[in-house]
Structure 1
Amino acid sequence: MDGVSDDGTRAISVIAFIGSVFSPWYRWSGRRRPHNHVCINVATYGPGGRFTMTDRGERALRTARDRFEVGPSKLTWRGGRLEIDVDEISSLPLVSRVRGRITVTPSALTSVEMPLTPDGGHIWRPFAPTARIEVDLNRGWQFSGHGYFDANFGTRALETDFSYWTWGRFPLGDGSACFYDAERRDGTTLATGIRFDGAGRAEVMTPPARTRFTRSLWAVRRETRADPGYQPRQVKAMLDAPFYTRSVVRTRIGGEETEGVHEALDLKRFASPLLKPMLAVRVPRRPGWSFADG
Structure 2
Amino acid sequence: MTIIAFIGSVFSPYYAKERRRAIVDPAQHCSINVAVYGRGAARWAMTERCRHALGATPEQLAIGPSSLSWDGTRLIVRIDEKAPVTGLPVRGVVTLEPEIRSDFATDFGTDGRHLWAPIAPRARVEARFDAPAISWTGTGYFDTNRGDEPLEDGFSYWNWSRACLSDSAVMLYEGTRQNGSKFNMGIQIAADGSVSPVELRERCDLPLTRYWKMPRETRVDAGHTANVEQTLEDTPFYSRSMIATHLLGEPVHAMHESVSLDRFRKRWVQSLLGWRMPRVTLQGSSRGVFGMSRDQIE
Normalising by structure 2, report the TM-score: 0.90
CA offsets 1:176-201 (integer angstroms, 9 cap, x no match): 10001110111211111100112222
Q: Look up the match of 1:57.
A: 50
Alignment of 1:114-263 (within 5 A): 114-138=106-130, 139-217=132-210, 218-263=212-257
Q: Which residues of 2 match residues 63-142 of structure 1 at below 5 A?
A: 63-92=56-85, 94-138=86-130, 139-142=132-135
SS in 2 for 1:277: helix
Is 1:283–2:277 an aligned residue pair? yes
For 2:80 and 2:269, the matched residues in 1 are separated by 28
How far apart, CA to CA, are the structure 1 residues paired with 2:97 and 2:34?
Answer: 18
1:13 and 2:5 aligned: no
Cα pair 1:125 1:150 within 8 Å, conserved? yes
Compare 23-32 and 49-58 and name the one that shifted more: 23-32
Q: CA deviation at 1:145?
A: 1.1
The change in CA–CA distance for 1:289 and 1:189 in structure 2 (over 3 A counts) is: farther
Q: What is the alpha-carbon distance in structure 1 between the residues aligned to residue 68 and residue 6 of structure 2? A: 12
Deviation of the 1:289 alpha carbon: 6.4
User: Using the alignment, how far apart are the partners of 1:186 and 1:89 within structure 2?
Assistant: 39
What number of residue pairs does the alignment pair up?
278
* 1:211–1:223 Cα contact (<8 Å) kept: yes
Whether the 8 Å contact between 2:110 and 2:154 is mirrored in structure 1 is: no
Q: Does the 8 A contact of 2:8 with 2:26 survive in 1?
A: yes
Of residues 265, 275, 285, the one that matches 1:271 is 265
Looking at structure 1, the residues matched to 283 and 253 of structure 2 have their Cα atoms a distance apart, in angstroms, of 39
- Contact 2:8-2:30 at 8 Å conserved across structures: yes
Distance 1:137 1:206, change over 3 A: same
SS at match of 1:156: coil
**Native 8 Å contact 1:60 1:289 kept in 2:** no
Q: Deviations over 1:174-232 (max 9, x none)?
A: 11100011101112111111001122221122234231111112110000111223221
What amino acid does structure 2 have at the position aligned with 1:100?
G
Relative to structure 1, the CA distance from residue 129 to residue 208 in structure 2 (aligned partners, 3 Å threshold; closer, same or farther) is: farther
Counterparts of 1:207 and 1:123, CA distance in 2 = 23
Is this contact kept in 1: 2:75–2:96, CA < 8 A?
yes
Higher relative contact order (CA 8 A, sep 6+): 1
TM-score, normalised to structure 1, is 0.91
Tell me if structure 1 keeps the 8 A contact 2:77–2:94.
Answer: yes
Q: What secondary structure sits across from 2:95 in the alignment? A: strand
In structure 2, the partner of 1:23 is 12
Listed as ranges, the gaps of 5+ residues in structure 2 are: 285-298
The one-letter amino acid paired with 2:206 is F
Residues of 1 paired with 2:248 and 2:102: CA distance? 23
Instruction: Name the CA distance, whole Å, in 2 between partners of 1:155 and 1:289.
Output: 30
**Aligned partner of residue 266 in structure 2, secondary structure:** coil
Task: Tell me by how many angstroms 1:287 deviates.
Answer: 2.0
Tell me, yes or no, if the aligned pair for 2:102 and 2:118 is still in contact at 8 Å.
yes
Distance verdict in 2 for CA 1:127–1:167, change over 3 Å: same
Question: CA offsets per residue over residues 80-102 of structure 1, 9 Å max, x none?
Answer: 1110000000123x431111100
Please point out which of 27, 36, 52 is paired with 1:35.
27
Contact 1:112 1:126 in 2 (8 A): yes
Measured against aligned partners, the alpha-carbon deviations of 1:121-178 in whole angstroms (never above 9, x if no partner) come to: 0110100001111111123211111110001111111111211100110111111100
Instruction: Give identity over the alignment, percent.
Output: 36
In the TM superposition, residue 265 of structure 1 has moved relative to its aligned partner by 0.3
